[in-house]
Structure 1
């Protein structure tokens, strides 16, 4: 998937997030991200992509930024984009961020593996990563497959939906240890708010009886560094303003890291 296709995919996701189903998914993700980020401490936190969700709203770090591929604010965006870049090259110094959140970035990125490699680079040791994505092993995932046959699409068709086990495998290769995994949105693939509300009981039943079949998921991971034992906080005030403003060029990165 080239960069042009990736941009079209992101635009398609933006439109879908404004639908009743999109609002349903956003509500679950917002509540889940609030719970996961509230007690993550440090100085520098970045949300990459999906401005319609304020993934860092409950976090108390002094420096929080929203980064995306576009700068202009769109209808439905939670807040203004502060940093723009290509997903495959993050404009942050190595080991400068305490928390990175990727809501629906990997499945619509042209190079998801490269995005994860860059995230691992910019995270401090013991830094946290949270990923949100669509679950292909769900009622919505089945509807997406049948939609390709019938032509009646429910979810954005571009991009590749990645299962949680696959995400865990990718993270393991980067020495990222998964600490939490959550599934949500168990209602069938309904298009109207009325019918989604009628199936609201399935959110309670699904979480208890078929917990891995939720339409969306959130995964939290921790960057581990072999041979390192941390004593006290993993951050210092010297890093508090070092994260933003670093051009994402190899030449500049060599000067900075070397």
Structure 2
């Protein structure tokens, strides 16, 4: 946490042509996913140089981690109260964290029931994953990370009572560093999304925290309104009026 950046090598790689290609796809997907997630508090963990919550409309949004952030923290021990956040965004944190499962446990703890998490990661079952296996520079970002498959992420989320809502995979171009070759191979994005939908170099997954046995508690004013709507209409009459009405009835019967 004392480092000026959480993953300094990753930040440098994202400035390369291949990194810009990846982030262009991810930012578009993040904007689409978070735009319709509502609540009060949203946090982005990691990659503070990219505002991945810009399309969200929650009143309180901030970035946390290391570097140019509002809150510096350890991903494995989030300094937030339990059930205090409505949305957590995790862009490429799990594959470089020392204990990714603990990071997810902390995310589950700080999310409110029905809270949302959006995770971005590198796909090991892709051309990016093949590049990782063949990379000679074992310490170079992003190839040295612990790439987690979508299936493993889903298993972890299910163990933590999350329900996977949707997922997306993209960036089918081989892990080439030259911009001209990335542009020439761009046709693979269309073909890959059609013929190999889970084989993109990166993926996004959106999940919702489910809590068993929860029920909606209506405010008191709604219960009163419902009770009034169901109650029979009773006409109140004063004792004097009741007596006078009785006299009139007896008088009418007397006449008969």
TM class by smaller structure: 0.7 to 0.9
What pairs with 1:1-258 in structure 2 (closer than 5 Å)? 10-68=7-65, 70-71=66-67, 73=68, 81-148=69-136, 151=137, 156-230=142-216
After superposition, the Cα gap between the structure-2 partners of 1:153 and 1:96, relative to the gap in structure 1 and judged at 3 Å, is closer
What's the CA shift for 1:91?
A: 1.0
Secondary structure of residue in 2 paired with 1:64 = strand
SS of structure 2 residue aligned to 1:120: helix
Unaligned 5+ runs, structure 1: 74-80, 233-258
Structure 1 Cα separation of the partners of residues 193 and 217 of structure 2: 37
Question: Residue 22 and residue 231 in structure 1: after superposition, are their counterparts in 2 closer, same or farther (change >3 A)?
Answer: farther
Aligned to 2:246: none
Shift of residue 62 of structure 1?
A: 0.3
Cα distance in structure 1, aligned partners of 2:184 and 2:214: 51
Tell me how far apart the structure 1 counterparts of residues 54 and 10 of structure 2 sit (CA, whole Å): 21
Q: Alpha-carbon deviation of 1:30?
A: 0.2
Cα distance, 1:8 vs structure 2: 8.5
Shift of 1:157: 3.3
Structure 2 regions of 5+ residues with no counterpart? Answer: 219-256
1:230 CA drift (Å): 3.9
Contact 2:165/2:207 (CA < 8 Å) preserved in 1?
Answer: yes
Matched residues in 2 for 1:187 and 1:229: separation?
47
1:11-68 residue CA offsets vs partner (Å, 9 max, x unmatched): 1111111111000000000000000000000000000001232110100000001001
Which is higher, the Rg of structure 1 or of structure 2?
Answer: 2
The structure showing larger relative contact order (alpha-carbon pairs under 8 Å, at least 6 residues apart) is 1
Equivalent residue of 2:74, what SS? coil
In the alignment of these two chains, the number of paired residues is 218
Q: Is the contact made by 1:183 and 1:212 (CA closer than 8 Å) also made in structure 2? A: yes
Tell me the distance in 2 between the aligned counterparts of 1:152 and 1:112: 20
Task: Give TM-score, length-normalised by structure 1.
Answer: 0.80
CA distance in 1, matches of 2:214, 2:129: 40
